[in-house]
Amino acid sequence: MECQIGVIAGDGIGPEIVTEARKVLDRVGSKYGHSFHYTDILMGGCSIDATGVPLTDEAIAAAKASDAVLMGSIGGNTSTSPWYKLPPDKRPEAGLLKLRKSLNLFANLRPAYLYEELKAACPLRDDIIGSGFDMMIMRELTGGLYFGERKTETVDGVVTATDTLTYSETEIRRIAKRGFDIAMKRRKKVTSVDKANVLDSSRLWRKIVEEVAKDYPEVTYEHMLVDNCAMQLVKDPKQFDVILTENMFGDILSDEASMVTGSIGMLSSASLNDTKFGLYEPSGGSAPDIAGKGIANPIATILSAAMMLRYSFDLDKEADAIESAVKQVLKEGYRTIDIMPQAGESTEGITKVGTARMGDLIAERV
């Protein structure tokens, strides 16, 4: 298969972790007879430095011309980077929001899976972890508070900021259908998360989810308020299969779920539209404090590449090979610094490795 992949290396640790994902993809291509062709695309702080804006029209066109886009991370230190002295619509994250909207990437999939070998890194007690957990957070990505009208004005002499939260029936229905579709391929349970006791948008969300659920009689579903869900994620994470929720709630809950697994460096994600096209990226940020040190964990980006093979190219066998290689490397005791045993824990059989070495190990085991 010939695959055209747009690559947004981005800022901070982005170029380092993307390099390792490409290394693994190239190994897959060599072993299974596929050709992956890469087009570099500027977005984020590096684009601001080069063009003055976080995302150009040319970059959007290059992304649209690709079969899928693999991304590292964007942004920098918000307190020291000159990028954050710019107006909000000129900052690195504005480029990502614009790209999501331009490509109609309305469905964000963030798996949170606890590897047996990393149970010690999980901050929860053993009796809570049990046999582990495996959930998929389905986050609506192009609506809600992040894309509503906003303004800051002076009202009666007082500076007042307003952000508008808006959802249409159509936006809710399409993400709900995608969530139930994913559940059908998993354990057939959906937990729809909202704030229906307070917000009109959540009451509409709940109504539409109930309508969609009627088309999926095999799927068990429940409603859960977002504050309760945040508590349940640390109280009993194994109860969840697919968590379906709106943009801001999903942003917060997916980061919480990632840390319950032990490290945000382990969590992949996919952002999909109505076609096979998707944007694939790790759940973590650009981590500018460790950029260039060769210690960043590339596994989330490598697993994002596996999701790309699965969802955009229907290469399930190849995606399985990457995921199995990651498990094998962890089983053999290799760890980047973020998933090393904590102080007082045994390091017997554990070997600390850097970014490039972790990429090499996984590629070798594909």
Active site residue 119: no
Which residue carries 């697993």 as its tokens? 303
Active-site residue, selected from the candidate residues 26, 181, 255, 360: 255
Using CA atoms, how far residue 105 sits from 30, 114, 175, 292, in Å, is: 30, 27, 11, 30
Active site residue 255: yes
302 CB burial (10 A radius; 0-12, 13-18, 19+): buried
pLDDT of residue 343: 76
Active-site residue, selected from the candidate residues 67, 115, 146, 167: 146
Active-site residue, selected from the candidate residues 67, 195, 280, 334: 195
Active-site residue, selected from the candidate residues 200, 215, 227, 274: 227
- Six-digit token string for 196: 């229906």
pLDDT of residue 246: 98
Q: Please give the Cα distance from 3 to 288 (Å, whole number).
A: 31
What is the model's pTM?
0.86
Q: Where are the alpha helices (DSSP H) in the chain?
A: 14-32, 45-51, 57-64, 92-102, 126-129, 169-184, 200-213, 226-235, 247-260, 299-311, 316-331, 355-364
pLDDT of residue 71: 97
pLDDT of residue 121: 77
Spell out the residues 6+ positions from residue 196 whose beta carbon is closer than 8 angstroms to its own: 202, 203, 205, 206, 223, 225
pLDDT of residue 341: 84
pLDDT of residue 267: 86
Superfamily covering domain 123-260? Isopropylmalate Dehydrogenase (3.40.718.10)
Active site residue 320: no
83 CB burial (10 A radius; 0-12, 13-18, 19+): buried
Contact criterion met (CB below 8 Å) for 279 and 141: no
Q: Is domain 1-110+263-366 annotated with CATH 3.30.565.10?
A: no
pLDDT of residue 24: 98
Same fold, 1-110+263-366 and 123-260: yes
Q: Please give the Cα distance from 271 to 69 (Å, whole number).
A: 10
Amino acid at 250: G
Active-site residue, selected from the candidate residues 11, 241, 251, 338: 251
What are the structural domain ranges in the chain?
A: 1-110+263-366, 123-260
Active site residue 215: no
pLDDT of residue 223: 98
pLDDT of residue 156: 96
Q: What is the pLDDT along the chain (366 residues), one digit of tens a residue?
A: 999 999 999 999 999 999 999 999 999 999 999 999 999 999 999 999 999 999 999 999 999 999 999 999 999 998 899 999 999 999 999 999 899 989 999 999 999 988 888 887 788 888 998 888 999 999 999 999 998 999 999 999 999 999 999 999 999 999 999 999 999 989 999 999 999 999 999 999 999 999 999 999 999 999 999 999 999 999 999 999 999 999 999 999 998 988 888 777 788 999 999 999 999 999 878 999 999 999 999 999 999 999 999 999 999 999 999 999 999 999 999 999 988 887 777 888 999 999 999 999 999 999
Active site residue 26: no
